[in-house]
Structure 1
Amino acid sequence: MNSWIRALVLVGLCVLMLGQSLRAQPMPAMPGPADPSGIRQGRFLGVVVGTAAFYTLTLLMLRKQWYKKSVPFHSFNDNGEWLQMDKVGHAATAYCMSRGGYELMRWSGVNERASILTGGLLALLFQTTLEVYDGHAEGWGFSKGDMLANVAGTALFVGQQYGAGQQVVSMKYGFRKTIFPPYRPNLLGKTTGQQMLKDYNGQQYWLSVNLASALPVGPSFPRWLNLDLGYSGSGMVGGHENPRVFDSNGNELQFTRYRQFFLSPDADLSRVGTFSPALQRFIGTAQFFKIPAPSLEFSRVKGVRFHPLILPKE
C-alpha cells in the first residue's frame, strides 16, 4: 500500500513543480532574513490551494480505495520486513516531499527559514496522516518504524538546509527488473510499473553526496559531480521470510535473502551553471531518480562485482 502512496506523492510534486514560471527567483546560497513583502500573492495562493487540494483529494481517494473498513487504532511491528527496504523508502519519500514543499514556498516568495519549516511540516503532516490511517486499517497498523523513517527523511532535508543552506547529501531512487515477481505477482507486481513500486528486490535507494560541497576542492572542480552510496536487497519473495515457491516444473526453489551495497558516480544537474535558476529549482526537486552510471556492488553472497552501467536483472 505504501508503495502506491509514495508514487502518488512523487507524481503530485512533479505536477506542482511543472506549474512554476520560468521567471522564478534564484536559489539563495544561505538562509536569508524574513521578507514578507517578497511574497508573490498569485503564486503563493496557487501553491496553497494546490497543496490543500492534493492533500484532501489524496486522503479521500485512499479512504475510499484502501481504508474501507475501520478498526480500533492499533500498532504493529514491521521493522524486520523486506530487509528494511520499506523503511528507507519512507525516508526517501519524506525527504522528497520536504524538498518539494520548500521549493514551492521559495518560488512563491516566502523567506528561506519559513520555507524550510513549511516543507518539513507538510511532509510530516502527510506521512503522519497516512500512518494514523494505517493504525485504523484492518490488516495493517501504526508503525513506529515507519514514523521514525519519516522523521529521519524530513530531518535530512531540514537540517542541511538550515545548517548549510544547501543539500550536500540528497536521496535518490533506482530500479531494475528482477526474477522474483513471477513467483508472487500479487505481492511483487505483475507489470513493470507495479514492480517499480512493489518489488523491493528491484529498488535501490541512494545517498548522493555532492563532492564540491563536502570536500575542499578547487574552483575548477565540477560542481555537479556527486558520489552515491546505494542500498538494496535481493532474494525476497515475502516480508519477514520467504514462503515456499515452485518453478514451472514443480521444483521447489530456495532464494537467499541478502543485502546489497553500491558505490557509483552521479550528476546533480541542478548545479549546472548554464541552467536558469527556475530550471535549477525544478531539477533539484524532480531529480529523484538515479542516473545510470558504472557502479561497484558488495554483498555477502556475490562478493564484489562491477556493473558497467545498469544493474543486471537477478
Structure 2
Amino acid sequence: MKRCLLLLLCCLVLRPCLGQPLPITPTASGAPELKQGRLIGVAIGSAVFYTATMILLRKAWYKKRVPFHAFNDNGEWLQMDKVGHAATAYLMSRGGYELFRWTGLNDRAATLTGGALALLFQTTLEVFDGTAEGWGFSRGDMIANAAGTALFVGQQYAFGNQPVQLKYGWRKSIYAPYRPNLLGKTTGIQLLKDYNAQQYWLSLNIASVFPVGPQFPRWLNLAVGYSGSGMTGGHANPPYVGPDGREVVFERRRQFYLSPDADLSRIQQLSPTAERFIGMAQFFKIAAPSLEYNRVNGVRFHPFLVKKD
C-alpha cells in the first residue's frame, strides 16, 4: 500500500509535467538556456517533497524498528506489486525529467537526474522496509524499481522520447468485500490496497516503431496489459465461509490484455487547456475496447471498460 500511496502522491505533484516536454527558450546558439531561478526552485521543491514524503511514510508504516533484514515477497499477489514498483519508478523518472528540462537542463542531464531521483526515493523506502517489523528489504522490489527507471532512461537516451510507456488502469473489483480489512472498505482505500482492481500497461507508439504513411495518426498506440484477479491473500486465499454456510472459493489467475491507446503528447497544436489535460492523464490508460485472456475464462472482449471481477 505504501508504494501505491507514493504513486498517487507523485501523480498529484508531477501531473503538470507528464505530458509534452515543457518549452525551453533557446539561446542565440540554439542551446537550451539554463534558468537558475527555476533550477533552484525545482531542486528545493524536490528536496522538500522527498523529505516530507519519507517522514509521512516513516510515521505511517515504520513505527517499530528491528535490525536490517531481507524479505522475499516475490511470490505475493501474482507479482502485481512488482509491476507496480516498476510503474512508480517510471512515473517518477519521467516526472523528474520534465521538471528539470523546464529549468533548462539539457536532455541528458535531465534524464540522468530524473532517473537518479526515482531510484533515491524507491531505495530509501526499501531501506525503511529492511529495518521495520513486519516488512523487510526486498531484492525483487529493487529489481522492479531499477527496471522501471531503466525503461525511461534507456529510451530517452536512445530515442530522445518514449516510444513505449508504462501506464496504469483501475476498475473496482468484487473481492474487497470478502477481506475489507486487507483490501479496503471504501473505494478510496481499495484504490491503494486492492491489487485485483489494478492493471498495468505497456503502451507502444506504432508510428515510432513501424514504417507508416504520413496520414497515419501519430498518436495511436497499441497497449499490452497485465493484472491479477481472485486474490484475497498475498500467497494464497484464506478459507472463507459465506452467509449461507458454504465455503467461497476464488480462482487466482493472471489476466492479459490487448487494447488500443493514445499518446496524447504527440497531438500537435494543442491549446494550453489541452496541454494541462495531458499532464494529468498521460500516465493513465484511456478507456478503450480490449481483448483479455485468462486461464479460467479464456478469451473475453470488453467493449469499453475492463469487466469488474
TM-score range, shorter chain: over 0.9
The DSSP-based 3-state class of the residue aligned with 1:173 is: strand
Aligned-pair CA distance for 1:112: 0.6
Percent identity over paired residues: 66
Pick the aligned partner of 1:132 from 123, 127, 131: 127
User: Does the C-alpha gap of structure 1 residues 75 and 27 become closer, same or farther in structure 2, counting only changes over 3 Å?
Assistant: farther
Matches within 5 A, 1:1-314: 1-14=2-15, 17=17, 24-25=22-23, 38-275=33-270, 280=275, 283=278, 286-314=281-309
User: Does the C-alpha gap of structure 1 residues 290 and 231 become closer, same or farther in structure 2, counting only changes over 3 Å?
Assistant: same
The DSSP-based 3-state class of the residue aligned with 1:291 is: coil
Aligned-pair CA distance for 1:67: 1.1
Structure 2 CA distance for aligned equivalents of residues 80 and 238 of structure 1: 11
Residues 94-137 of structure 1 deviation map (CA, whole Å, 9 limit, x = unaligned): 00000000000101111111000000000000000000000001
Aligned-pair CA distance for 1:281: 8.7
Structure 2 CA distance for aligned equivalents of residues 27 and 244 of structure 1: 62
Report the RMSD for the aligned CA atoms in angstroms.
2.5
TM-score normalized with structure 1 length: 0.91
For structure 1, which runs of at least 5 residues remain unmatched after alignment? none
User: Does the C-alpha gap of structure 1 residues 70 and 27 become closer, same or farther in structure 2, counting only changes over 3 Å?
Assistant: farther
The DSSP-based 3-state class of the residue aligned with 2:7 is: helix
Aligned length: 306
Residues 219-242 of structure 1 deviation map (CA, whole Å, 9 limit, x = unaligned): 111010000000001110000001
Moved over 6 A (4+): none
For structure 2, which runs of at least 5 residues remain unmatched after alignment? none
Residues 66 and 133 in structure 2, CA contact (< 8 A), matched pair in contact too: yes
Residues 44-69 of structure 1 deviation map (CA, whole Å, 9 limit, x = unaligned): 12211111100001111122221111
Structure 1 CA distance for aligned equivalents of residues 95 and 23 of structure 2: 16
User: Which has the higher mean CA deviation after the structures are superposed, 153-162 or 279-288?
Assistant: 279-288
Residues 258 and 301 in structure 1, CA contact (< 8 A), matched pair in contact too: yes
Residues 222 and 259 in structure 2, CA contact (< 8 A), matched pair in contact too: yes
Residues 167 and 284 in structure 2, CA contact (< 8 A), matched pair in contact too: yes
TM-score normalized with structure 2 length: 0.93
Residues 225 and 257 in structure 2, CA contact (< 8 A), matched pair in contact too: yes
